Amino acid sequence: MFLNAVTVIVFVFCAVVFAAGLAEALFPKWCWKTFESWKAVKEPSKTYFLRRRIEGIIGMVIASAMMLGPALISYFVQ
């Protein structure tokens, strides 16, 4: 099966989004300290970290659907 450049670029983009979502879901406090603590006066509440964790899971689901969607559609259409 031949993969063109656009397919590879989209797959790599989805893999990066999946990895970012996974990091956000597993380590929301570390992600906050790394990327957003410099602009905060105090540490956010637990609800904020819960929301970030849920957003990471949603991002992983969307990235997985984008990566696996075309393959599943072609599998079930045949």
With respect to residue 53, please indicate whether it lies within any of the assigned structural domains: yes
| Amino acid code (one letter) for 9 | I
Checking if the pLDDT of 1 tops 60, the result is no
Q: Which of 54, 68, 53 is nearest to 15 (CA)?
A: 68
Q: 40 is in which domain, residue-wise?
A: 22-69
With respect to residue 9, please indicate whether it lies within any of the assigned structural domains: no
Q: What is the four-CA torsion angle of 67, 73, 75, 76, rounded to 10 degrees?
A: 150
Question: What does pTM read for this prediction?
Answer: 0.79
Task: Encode pLDDT of 30-51 as tens digits.
Answer: 999 999 888 988 999 999 999 9
Task: Encode pLDDT of 2-19 as tens digits.
Answer: 667 877 888 889 999 999
The string of DSSP codes covering 49-69 is HHHHHHHHHHHHHHHHHHHHH
Checking if the pLDDT of 63 tops 70, the result is yes
With respect to residue 2, please indicate whether it lies within any of the assigned structural domains: no
For the chain, the domain total comes to 1
With respect to residue 16, please indicate whether it lies within any of the assigned structural domains: no
Cβ 13 vs Cβ 51: under 8 Å? no
With respect to residue 75, please indicate whether it lies within any of the assigned structural domains: no
